[in-house]
Structure 1
Amino acid sequence: MSGRSPNEHGFTLIEMLIVILIISILLLIAVPNMAKNNDVVKDKSCNATVKLIQSQVAAYEVENNTLPERIEDLSEYIDSEDMKCPGEDGDLNYDPATGKVSRP
């Protein structure tokens, strides 16, 4: 004997379709929220990069008693590939007169 009574059956096709429908609806709700959060993560990552470069400008100024002429002068403090916002084209903006770093 299989241990089942004659009236017991597995899931019906309708029950399986309802489960798939519920999972699909949950995915339709979740996927757009994840895509929106990706933009927030990129934005926060770029802001963190700007703060990091700004702190390296301050370190350069302390060591050399002057602001760097170009952002590339910070190469001994930070790698050149880290001087860009992740996921964005273009370099960060740097004003040598004020020593301020900003987003492109």
Structure 2
Amino acid sequence: MTKLKNQKGFTLIEMLIVMLIITVLIAIAIPNVSKQTTAVDEKGCKAFVQMVQGQVESFRMDEKKVPTIADLVTEGYLKADETDCPNGDIVNISTDGVVSSSKPAV
């Protein structure tokens, strides 16, 4: 029994204080991470639209006409599962060949 009394360790109050500090740090970090995720998705969508615009221009040079998304997929300019932005926006090609993105209709 004497060995147990001589051992040093953390008290319950010290452990609770450490847990409180960790909880506060996590509460601060989580909202910042979620804000960054939406920013990354928006930038990813802009980059995807620019890439599709490049594929449209390449198709126009090869085929001498403005493509649709389906044309780009069937001719191998885009993969079938990669026709929308990473954030879920829909990619559109206008009749004059300009690529844009829009939120999906609910």
Quickly name the TM-score band, shorter chain normalised. 0.7 to 0.9
**Cα RMSD (Å):** 2.1
Corresponding residue pairs, total: 99
Indicate the residue corresponding to 1:72 in structure 2.
Answer: 70
Unpaired runs of at least 5, structure 1: none
Q: Provide Cα deviations, 1:10-49, integer angstroms capped at 9, x if missing partner.
A: 0111111111010000000001111111111111111111
Indicate the residue corresponding to 2:51 in structure 1.
Answer: 52
Q: Percent identity?
A: 40
- Which runs of structure 2 are paired with 1:15-94 in the superposition (5 Å)? 15-68=14-67, 70-75=68-73, 76-88=76-88, 91-94=90-93
Give the distance between the partners of 2:57 and 2:81, measured in 1 at CA: 19
Indicate the residue corresponding to 2:98 in structure 1.
Answer: 100
Unpaired runs of at least 5, structure 2: none
Point out 4+ residue stretches in structure 1 off by more than 6 angstroms.
Answer: none
Give the distance between the partners of 1:51 and 1:82, measured in 2 at CA: 14
Contact kept? 1:93, 1:102, Cα under 8 Å? yes
Contact kept? 1:49, 1:83, Cα under 8 Å? no
Indicate the residue corresponding to 1:10 in structure 2.
Answer: 9
